[in-house]
């Protein structure tokens, strides 16, 4: 004789909660009724849901459905006795109570104002921080970084901000494909939006407090321009900002030094520097490729770096966006010069001299390493221009 199949209870909708049959044969109320999961813990390769405590325990599955219906309708309070209709064994009364609670839940949701989406909260936060607050002026780069971070949360734009949890934000940050600085901007954005949302009672809990960037900080390594990037820059050298970037890429000074270094156009070299003893008075020959650019700026503008740094940075960001080149910092030009020297087999000690790096305990080069401008010129001219 075929074994009679045991009828399973129907699957509950996602986000409704769960009803679990507990182990043991002699339980008076063998079903645990649990509210929906709202919190997660991050593990090595996955996220694990944190099971909330049971609302109550009941003697049959259908009563559990009734409890969850009352929970969503707002008529059930954990710890209190069950709704009256669940005290009866009459299944019709239980179903009637579930229907009533379902209708109450619909009325409750219909009376609530629509929840503000991630995108709506972002717009309000952006205006609140950058436009309404007149106490300080933000740079173009700050605004651009905020807008770029917002775009990387595109999967969350249409979701209610108050319903988003730590894991929603963290997954978006982890999978954005950005480097350390870009991910840091995303974390900062959610911190700022959450602060705004907390002030204006949009959220009841700040889900951003434990967000973090999980990759190594690559700021020290730098991000030099590639040869392809340099080709694009050379094709646009008539742009005032691009012209300065090229000069920086082929001379290697820190950006602050270009306001004060001496420029000898008779013998074609730079002299000066900032930061430390090794770099403050160093000599770097002007590479033949950038000599016309240097001459134009000195004669036409009265110097190399004649605008405020923040204004230069804003123009640089816009220029690179228009050319389709990944965003860089001015310091990345110094890294570019170092890369060009290395790839062009420039003498390592001369590369260190032109970058202003200390020789440390290397007394031979530090004290007795006498190199003329022409010696250094021979080395720097090994760098071939990427036209």
Quick one: pLDDT at residue 360? 44
**Residue among 215, 250, 248 nearest 382 (CA):** 250
Q: List pLDDT tens digits, range 28-51.
A: 888 888 988 877 676 666 667 788
Query: Residue 339 in contact with residue 355, Cβ under 8 Å?
Result: no
Q: Same structural domain for residues 102 and 145?
A: no
Instruction: Please check whether residue 281 lies inside any domain of the structure.
Output: yes
Torsion of CA 345, 350, 354, 358, to 10 degrees: 120
Q: Angle at which helices 240-249 and 227-235 pack, to 10 degrees?
A: 140
Dist CA 47 CA 145 (whole Å): 29
Instruction: Please check whether residue 163 lies inside any domain of the structure.
Output: yes
End-to-end CA distance of the chain: 86
User: Which domain range does residue 135 map to?
Assistant: 118-199
- Taking 70 as the pLDDT cut, the residues of the chain under it are 1-7, 40, 42-47, 77-114, 139, 141, 217-221, 275-280, 358-370, 387
Q: List pLDDT tens digits, range 180-228.
A: 888 999 999 999 999 999 999 999 889 998 999 988 766 556 789 999 9
Quick one: pLDDT at residue 39? 76
Instruction: Please check whether residue 279 lies inside any domain of the structure.
Output: yes
Dist CA 122 CA 192 (whole Å): 9
Quick one: pLDDT at residue 76? 75
Quick one: pLDDT at residue 153? 95
Q: Same structural domain for residues 264 and 320?
A: yes
Quick one: pLDDT at residue 365? 46
Q: Same structural domain for residues 104 and 51?
A: yes
Q: Same structural domain for residues 239 and 374?
A: yes
3-class secondary structure, 117: strand
Query: Residue 163 in contact with residue 36, Cβ under 8 Å?
Result: no
């Amino acid at each position: 004789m075929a074994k009679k199949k045991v009828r399973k209870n129907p699957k509950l909708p996602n986000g409704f909660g769960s009803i679990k049959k507990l182990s043991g044969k002699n339980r008076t109320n063998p079903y645990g009724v649990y509210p929906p999961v709202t919190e997660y813990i991050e593990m090595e390769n996955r996220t694990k849901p944190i099971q909330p405590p049971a609302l109550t325990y009941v003697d049959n599955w259908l009563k559990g459905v009734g409890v969850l219906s009352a929970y969503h309708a707002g008529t059930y309070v954990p710890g209190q006795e069950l709704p009256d209709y669940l005290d009866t064994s009459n299944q019709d009364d239980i179903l009637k109570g579930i229907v009533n609670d379902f209708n109450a839940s619909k009325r409750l949701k219909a009376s609530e104002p629509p929840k503000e989406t991630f995108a709506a909260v972002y717009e309000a936060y952006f205006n609140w921080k950058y436009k309404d607050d007149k106490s300080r002026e933000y740079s173009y780069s700050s605004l651009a970084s905020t807008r770029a971070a917002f775009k990387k949360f595109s999967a969350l734009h249409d979701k209610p901000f108050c319903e988003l949890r730590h894991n929603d934000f963290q997954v978006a940050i982890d999978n954005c494909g950005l480097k350390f600085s870009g991910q840091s901007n995303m974390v900062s954005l959610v911190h700022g939006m959450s602060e705004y949302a907390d002030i204006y009672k949009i959220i009841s809990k700040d889900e951003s407090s434990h967000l973090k960037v999980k990759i190594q900080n690559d700021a020290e390594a730098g991000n030099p321009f590639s040869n392809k990037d340099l080709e694009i820059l050379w094709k646009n050298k008539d742009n005032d900002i691009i012209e300065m970037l090229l000069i920086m890429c082929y001379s290697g000074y820190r950006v602050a030094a270009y306001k004060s270094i001496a420029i000898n156009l008779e013998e074609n070299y730079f002299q000066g520097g900032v930061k430390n003893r090794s770099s403050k008075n160093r000599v770097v020959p002007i590479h033949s490729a950038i000599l016309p650019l240097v001459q134009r700026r000195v004669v036409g503008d009265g110097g190399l770096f004649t605008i405020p740094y923040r204004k230069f940075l804003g123009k640089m960001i816009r220029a690179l966006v228009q050319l389709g080149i990944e965003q860089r910092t001015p310091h990345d030009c110094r890294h570019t010069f170092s890369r060009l020297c290395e790839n062009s087999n420039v003498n390592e000690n001369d590369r260190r001299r032109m970058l202003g790096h200390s020789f440390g305990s290397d007394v031979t080069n530090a004290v007795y390493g006498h190199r003329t401008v022409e010696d250094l010129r021979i080395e720097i001219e090994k760098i071939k221009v990427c036209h």
